[in-house]
Structure 1
Amino acid sequence: MPAAAQSSPPAAPDEAAYRRSLQLREQWMYLTTGLAGPATWTDGERYRYRRTSPGGFEFVMRRVGQAQAEAAFDQARLATALSPLLGRDVEGRRLPFSDYEIDKDGRALRAWVDDGWVRCELAGEYRCARWSASGPSPRPRGWGVVRDLSVAADATPQRSPDGRMEAFVRDGSVLLRTLADGSSRVLARDGADNDFYDPESIVWSPDSSRFMVLRVKPGDARRVTRVETSPRDQLQPRVRTQLYPKPGDAVDIDRPVIFEVATGRRIDVPTALFANPYEISPPQFRADGRTLAFRYTERGFQRVRLIEVDAHTGAARSVVEEHSDTFVNSWWHRADFHDVDKRGEQIVWQSERDGWNHLYMVDGRSGRLRQLTRGPWVVRQIVQVDEKNRQVWFSANGREPGDPYMQHFYRVNFDGSDLRHMTPGDGWHELSLSPDMNHYVDTYSRLDQPNITELRDARDGRLLQTLERGDASALFAAGYRAPETFTAPGRDGKTPIVGLIVRPSDYDATRRYPVIESIYAGPHDAHVQKKFWPFDNQSSNERLIGAQALADLGFIVVQIDGMGTMNRSKAFHDVAWKNLGDAGFPDRIAWHKALAARDASYDISGGVGIYGASAGGQNALNALQFHPEFYTVAVAYNGCYDNRMDKLSWNEQWMGWPVDESYARASGVDNADKLRGHLLLIVGEQDENVDPASTYQVADALIRAGKDFDLLAVPGTGHGVGRSQEPIDYIQRRKFDFFVRHLMKQQTPDWNARGAGKP
């Protein structure tokens, strides 16, 4: 980089520049070949995947040892069958789904298209129709913690493993039917609306001697009400409601009750060890039927226990416990455990007790733990427990040199010996094991390297065949620049903070470019892209193609993972505890300043712009409230601006329970008077993920504080407004305009003078 760059401001982008940016995804999406997605095995020998091909995509099948892939089905014929069903022309190379399920006989596929399932017959004449699973659906739950009692539960009787009896719940009673003569016995009749037996929870012991059913004290049935102002099928507005528990609301309290078949005896399980649940996992009987087990997560997420219950006496004991003064991370797959052979003698467990998430083997009798993995790196997920060979397959990051977030896959023996790295390629890996555990397909890439897909031997990781090697030469020839990675110390002056840099396609190192940060600081993951950009993924449009489209108007756009996000040490993650307003900003600002010190084209002298959605929307607003000396322009989509207004599950995991003053400290509403700079709020009125009232409460507080801001409410749209939901181009153009006017300090085209108002 030059020591100095021109100080003249960038030229205002014209209509042609807007048009190129808004069409970038369509222009670049079909310029690669051989970029394969993760594989799906259909049996021990066959697997399928999708790969890019000239002008689109193709779904292919392979057998182990097969030299060339073959078409999974006739895509042109399927497109012809789909077109009348969807009411639009469908191209065979551009089918409107990226994955599908296949019937057992291979004669039909099912795919999610346009917010619903379709089923297409592949034998004979291709036919497609809308499809829904047969039989009753499970009763829905609001964010997993409160059953929707306005929907009837599936009360289908549950048959015993020996086929002789059925257990079921009817009118508040628990009944047992003998199938040989049809006679029924009432085992309990004390169910009530405020303390009922859940008919969907019945689980039989393997020996058919007893069964378990959950008794439930229902939580708060809070409902969010939304007005659909402009429905497309009627003139008048429509009112919609949604079961939506929020932080502090009562959740369903589940308690297992066991019934003995021979005697009809009811066995109540004492609840002292799981008295205050956020949730308990579905209890499962062990293989011998003598015990059952479940994972208990205490309300507030500071304690987790594996509970074992004696199925004969109901006595409960804690096999293993996790406790934290901050939070026990129960998000994503960190709550997964595996009961080896379903015998309760050995349990594969995850814990951050040494400061990093690692695997442990728990002695189910004594509760003693043996650590299977260790070191300054993170186990991400248990992939497969191979009980036959006594091995655990898992994904992890931070063990290999380079970027600490790169996902790799490993295998370790039950005694912690012979830890093997199974994905040696340099990049972000995605692995698919065959059902017989003999082979796996490994797909990996980097920001600057297209996908490579390999078939390997699961016994030793030996490479058997390179299946695909992606070619992106046409994409690079069209002007694509791979994002750069940059690492700088965070707030403590030593912890590496990793981010990426997206420069304009016509980047000129002698110019100075204003800087915009695309932010998402949700503590439930790390968020900076690592693999080759998946241009076909509409939901990634905002953070990926959206960053390049914005950069091409004359900005440098960056993404950063600061402290408080996941997949680093426990201490790194703990920064988020009761502190979502932090959002890693001290680390982000240090990163920006470090890059500006070495790159003269990186101009942060006039302040940095920032945009984000959902938790990123909250982060973008907080940037102008808590760090207005650094961030000066923000665009915030559908933010959870006050964590008391958002869903119970996500917010209590990081902000704790009961609700306390920490919620107010992070609130964009309570801190409205601190706002400086320029703010655009965007909200989809039918947001089903974050209560849209959260945005309006921010607007109300800003008005009462005398603050100027812009608000764009988009009728009929939900949480993905402007990103995965139309009108994408309009919303993106409004975002572009906001940064051009307020950060670049340039005039934008007069769109209203152009008829339809489109670039």
Structure 2
Amino acid sequence: MALLPHSGRNVLIPALSRANSPLIWLLAGLVLCCPTSLLGQGTREDYKRAEAQKQAMEGKVYHAPRSFNWLEGEERFWYISQTPRGKEFLLVDAVKRRKKPAFDQERLAKALSAATGEEVLPYKLPFSTVTFSDKGKKLNFEHNDKEWVLSLNSYKLQEKGKAAERENRYWGAGRDELGNKPVTSPDSQWVAFIKNYNLYVKPADKKRNEEYQLSYDGSSGDYYSSFISWSPDSKRLATNKVRPGQEHPLHLLESSPQDQLQPKLHTRHYLKPGDALPQKEPQLFLLDTKQQVSIDASPFNPDEQYGLSNPSWRKDGRSFTVEYNQRGHQAYKVLEVDGATGKVKVLIKEESTTFIDYSGKKYRNDVSDGKEIIWASERDGWNHLYLFDGETGKVKNQITKGDWVVRQVVHVDEKKRSIIFGGSGREKNQDPYFVQYYRVNFDGSGLTALTSENAHHTASFSKGHQYFVDAYSRVDQPQVAVLRSASDGKVVMELEKADVAGLYKAGWKAPEVFTSKARDGETDIWGIIIRPSNFDAAKKYPVIEYIYAGPHSAFVPKTFGGARNLHELAELGFIVVQLDGMGTSNRSKAFQDVSWKNLKDAGFPDRIAWIKAAAKKYPYMDIDRVGIFGTSAGGQSSAGALLFHPDFYKVAVSSSGCHDNRMDKIWWNEQWMGKIGPHYAASSNVENAHKLQGKLMLILGEMDDNVDPASTLQLVNALIKANKNFEFLMIPGAGHTSGGDYGEHRRRDFFVRHLLGVEPPEWEQVNNDSSAKL
């Protein structure tokens, strides 16, 4: 073979005789004109440029604060602004319309340097959270696992000891119903507790040794919960009686612990779909007579429960309420139990032929101690607010309505009978996912827009809800932050306007917002298109989709810089896209219902149609070479793309996937898939592994306690049994992950190799070059 130089790369062509030299140049020309050679994609220079884009995103965006923190009981707030000289803390007085440095950073840095013996730079302070105390005269922060207090008058710094340890609680741990501490009555005269599985009370006065047993039928298999609720007058108690569910241990083997040579076994309590759940019944006790009041258990369907909340007393003690969630998530009720008789009344009942999105859209606010209830519901096909009569349980009126959704309730003002909320989709000619803020009266009148700019708004309201900071941007429009009046939304003070000149100077290109029709030919599907900084419309680019299709939210970035990792991938020579297909949230109920008992759908008919529509408009998008990647639910979807849609998707990288919904956590999967049935197997990547076509890489953290690692390993097993070719990367010690830096590099190399047909450059060479340059 002979080597011909081209664009810094070596191209192999057959070595032919001099007599055939015209043929040599003909073949060379053909090779040089093929897409891979022409583009020079996946080269060392592309990898270096991708790293430069990452650095630019992290360090070249100024005056774009991420959070605003209101001081308790004051109309003042602080925030951090990244400026060319570093991290600056600023303090704003909303009433006086005044902005100033929150403190003297140079004096603080000098004091902290002296106290710790370390060099502390004033605009690289080693903390990002502060609290003001003593009416703003002192500043509190944490550094090196210690608490520090700074006098803002003298700038004397005091070490206050070890910082409080934050509980590293396992996300999936169920509550120990017997593990709560004794509960003192509101009048501080009595203490309620559980002993031998039964409810007891005793005087709070430790000099009095008597105790009184209130229940007698508790046992290890049917016990009283230690989460006890006293009535406000301290005369009655309520709790739940619990029939425990099953234990489902998840065992994780840590192969390479840092503190010992031998592996470690870790165990978590991890319920999965179909597992038996605790069943609860409310219980009522009268303190004066030491009697238990009988309560009819049938409204709480003890054999069909998914969950029952703790009793919550009315302020006047007339009754308590509980919320009942039926197994399968097609019925949800708010029930009231009379505090004297134990009589049960249904206040609100939600029912659905698909699912009730209790985990993402439930909202309840009891007005005037339950005389009225503000409740969120999708009963008209869109997520809206309703006003219920708290006595009869009837709807008094619908507060918000229309083909748009309420996304968040910020504040309910009972005196003015008004509500501040965030919603999306109401404003015409805007992205329907953009959040805008509104004020509305309880009766539905007086709907007032507090924000209106054509962008996604994030609001931070003062404690008194007189002012709010509004930070708004789009993927193609840098952030603007202003202070507004919460009564009418008028801007009272400009705060920050992002400076992104350095980002554009580094070659960064903003994503393009693109829409096309869904599978129904009517509904708009919204997404973004990201091109490399050296984009050339005369060339052909493979397409890579980043997917997360969980029904619990929508996932396409709406704010400036929200898709930074996708820009890095695009730099290697790809068009990268992200979109929200049907089955995701924040649109109509029907839009989200596509996922019901069918998570394998993942909106793929909409996604494929969207990418094809984009390629029709932009012929440089090569839809004969389409890749896809995702993590968690996105890991399930990305692998499923090659199983259920191999005619379109050719290469996939799947990380930490829940490849069979029966193997994943109970709450998330039963929320959308309902009770166990044959539809679980139909959506299973494991059951359908034999259908694999294309190139697949699986990435897994061995210590994943979010999605059982066995879910991925069972897919590996099924693929091996089906004699399928794939790649598998297990990362020791890692939890629920996309693979970290190592996994990201492997993912990029996988796409370069299989979509561009190019062997990626050596890692050491790329890393050394990037370090030298950056």
Assess same fold via TM > 0.5: yes
> Which of the numbers 410, 413, 416 marks the counterpart of 1:389?
416
Find the counterpart in structure 2 of residue 537 from structure 1.
none
Query: Aligned partners of 2:714 and 2:180: how far apart in 1?
Result: 39
Pair 1:628-2:646 in alignment: yes
Query: Given residue 196 of structure 1, which amino acid in structure 2 is its aligned partner?
Result: Y
Moved more, 158-167 or 463-472: 158-167
The whole-number CA distance in structure 2 between the counterparts of 1:37 and 1:12 is 35
Farther off after superposition, 579-588 or 189-198: 189-198
Q: Aligned pair in 2 of structure 1 residues 663, 546: CA closer, same or farther (>3 Å)? A: same
1:679-724 deviation digits (Å, cap 9, x = unpaired): 00000111121111111111000000000000000001111343xx
Which amino acid in structure 1 is aligned with residue 389 of structure 2? D
Which among 571, 585, 604 is matched to residue 552 of structure 1? 571
Q: 2: CA distance between counterparts of 1:118 and 1:501?
A: 45
Structure 1's 428 and 748: CA in aligned 2 closer, same or farther, altered over 3 A? same
Query: Cα distance, 1:516 vs. partner?
Result: 0.2
Q: What secondary structure, in the 3-state scheme, does the structure 2 residue paired with 1:740 have?
A: helix
- Residue 3 of structure 1 is matched in structure 2 by none
Q: Deviations for 1:459-515, whole angstroms, at most 9, x for unmatched residues?
A: 222221112222212211221211110000011111100000111011112211110
Question: 3-state DSSP class of the match of 1:226?
Answer: strand
Residues 688 and 81 of structure 1, relative CA distance in 2, 3 Å threshold: farther
Tell me, yes or no, if the aligned pair for 1:12 and 1:747 is still in contact at 8 Å.
Answer: no
Contact kept, 8 Å, 2:64 with 2:480, in 1: the verdict is: yes
Q: 2:253 pairs with 227, 238, 242, which one?
A: 227
1:246 corresponds to 2:272 = yes
Structure 1 residues without counterparts, runs of 5 or longer:
1-5, 535-543, 723-727
Q: Secondary structure at the match of 1:61?
A: strand
Whose Rg is larger? 2
Q: Does 1:57 align with 2:84?
A: no
The equivalent position to 2:546 in structure 1, one of 518, 526, 531, is: 518
* Distance of 1:677 and 1:757 partners within structure 2: 33
Task: List per-residue Cα deviations over 1:587-606 (Å, max 9, x = no partner).
Answer: 000000101011122111x2
Deviations 1:12-60 (A, max 9, x none): 4233432332453333212122112232221231112222222543332
Letter in 1 for 2:642: L
Aligned partner of 1:340 among 351, 367, 373: 367
CA 1:720–1:440 in 2, change beyond 3 Å: closer, same or farther? same
Stretch moving more, 354-363 or 258-267: 258-267
| Secondary structure, aligned partner of 2:192 | strand
Aligned match of 1:207: 233
Find out whether 1:175 has 2:200 as its counterpart.
yes
Higher RCO, 1 vs 2 (CA within 8 Å, ≥6 residues apart): 1
Query: Given that residues 7 and 512 in structure 1 are in contact (C-alpha distance below 8 angstroms), is that contact kept between their aligned partners in structure 2?
Result: no
Corresponding residue for residue 693 of structure 1: 710
Change (3 A) 1:132 1:24: same
SS at 1:29 equivalent = helix
Q: How far 1:214 moved relative to its partner? A: 2.3
Q: How far apart in 2 are the matches of 1:706 and 1:89?
A: 59
After superposition, the Cα gap between the structure-2 partners of 1:432 and 1:752, relative to the gap in structure 1 and judged at 3 Å, is closer
1:166–1:74 distance in 2 versus 1, CA, 3 Å: farther
SS of aligned partner of 1:716 = coil
Deviation at 1:76, TM superposition (A): 6.6
**Separation in 1, partners of 2:116, 2:665:** 33
1:648 corresponding residue in structure 2: 666
Does residue 1:165 correspond to 2:190, yes or no? yes
Q: Which amino acid in structure 2 is aligned with residue 425 of structure 1?
A: E
Aligned to 1:413: 441
Report the secondary structure of 1:188's partner residue.
Answer: coil
Specify the code of the residue in structure 1 equivalent to 2:200.
L
**2:611 equivalent to 1:592:** yes
Task: Rate the CA distance shift 1:195–1:668 in 2: closer, same or farther, 3 A.
Answer: same
1:190 aligns to 2:198 (yes or no): no
**1:312, CA displacement in angstroms?**
1.0
Aligned residues between the structures: 725
Match of 1:489 among 517, 524, 540: 517
> Measured at CA, do residues 653 and 511 of structure 1 come closer, stay the same or move farther in structure 2, by a change above 3 Å?
same
Alpha-carbon shift at residue 737 of structure 1 (Å): 0.6
Match of 1:540 in 2: none
Contact 1:349 1:362 in 2 (8 A): yes
Cα 1:664/1:444, change in 2 over 3 Å: same
Q: Does 1:601 align with 2:601?
A: no
Q: 1:716 to 1:73 in 2, by over 3 A?
A: farther
Task: Tell me which moved more, 23-32 or 700-709.
Answer: 23-32
Which residue is equivalent to 2:759? 747
Match of 1:458 in 2: 486
Deviations 1:544-596 (A, max 9, x none): 22210110010010001000000011110000000000000000000001010
Aligned CA-pair RMSD = 2.8
Deviation at 1:677, TM superposition (A): 0.1
What amino acid is aligned across from residue 617 of structure 1 in structure 2?
G
C-alpha displacement at 1:109, in angstroms? 4.2
Query: Does the C-alpha gap of structure 1 residues 119 and 296 become closer, same or farther in structure 2, counting only changes over 3 Å?
Result: farther
Aligned pairs for 1:440-589 (under 5 A) are 440-534=468-562, 544-589=563-608
Q: Provide the residue aligned with 1:538 in structure 2.
A: none
| Higher deviation after alignment, 189-198 or 437-446 | 189-198
How far apart are the structure 1 equivalents of 2:199 and 2:693? 61
Contact 1:432 1:440 in 2 (8 A): yes
Counterpart secondary structure, 2:35: coil
Amino acid at match of 2:737: G
Do the aligned partners of 2:172 and 2:706 also contact (CA within 8 Å) in 1? no
Deviations 1:267-292 (A, max 9, x none): 24322122122122332111111011
Structure 2 length normalisation: TM-score? 0.88
State how far apart, in whole Å, the 1-side matches of 2:312 and 2:411 are. 19
Give the match's secondary structure for 1:122. Answer: strand
DSSP 3-state at the match of 2:358: coil
Q: Secondary structure at the match of 1:520?
A: coil
Q: Which runs of 5+ in 2 are unaligned?
A: 1-32
2:426 is matched with 399
Give the structure 2 partner of residue 669 of structure 1.
Answer: 686
Please tell me the residue identity of whatever aligns with 2:157. Answer: E
In 2, are the aligned partners of 1:22 and 1:729 still within 8 Å (CA)? no
The alpha-carbon distance between structure 1 residues 87 and 184, as it changes in their structure 2 partners (threshold 3 A), is farther
Which of 720, 727, 738 is the matching residue for 1:703? 720
Return the alpha-carbon distance in structure 2 between the equivalents of residues 75 and 639 of structure 1. 45
Q: How far is the alpha carbon of 1:379 from its aligned partner?
A: 0.8
Whole-angstrom distance in 1 between the partners of 2:484 and 2:732: 50
2:68 match:
39
Task: Give the match's secondary structure for 2:50.
Answer: helix
Amino acid at match of 2:723: G
User: CA, structure 1 residues 428+91, in 2 after alignment: closer, same or farther (shift >3 Å)?
Assistant: farther
- Aligned residues of 2:48 and 2:769 also touching (Cα < 8 A): no
Shift in CA distance, 352/84, structure 1 to aligned 2, threshold 3 Å:
farther
> In structure 1, what residue type is equivalent to 2:557?
Q
Alignment partner of 2:237: what SS? strand
Contact 2:146 2:159 in 1 (8 A): no
Residues 1:256 and 1:87: Cα distance change in structure 2 (over 3 Å): farther
Task: Give the Cα–Cα distance (whole angstroms) in 2 for the partners of residues 167 and 389 of structure 1.
Answer: 39
Q: Give the AA of the match of 1:561.
A: D
2: CA distance between counterparts of 1:86 and 1:508? 53
Are 2:748 and 1:736 aligned?
yes
Residues 1:758 and 1:666: Cα distance change in structure 2 (over 3 Å): farther
CA drift at 1:675: 0.6
- 1:263 corresponds to: 289
Q: Residues 622, 257 of structure 1: CA spacing in aligned structure 2 closer, same or farther, 3 A cutoff?
A: same
Contact 2:148 2:157 in 1 (8 A): no
Report deviation, 1:652.
Answer: 0.3
CA distance in 2: counterparts of 1:528 and 1:475, whole angstroms: 21
2:415 and 2:61 mapped to 1: Cα distance?
Answer: 41
Aligned CA distance change for structure 1 residues 122 and 719 (closer, same or farther; 3 Å): farther
Between 431-440 and 244-253, report the one with greater CA deviation: 431-440
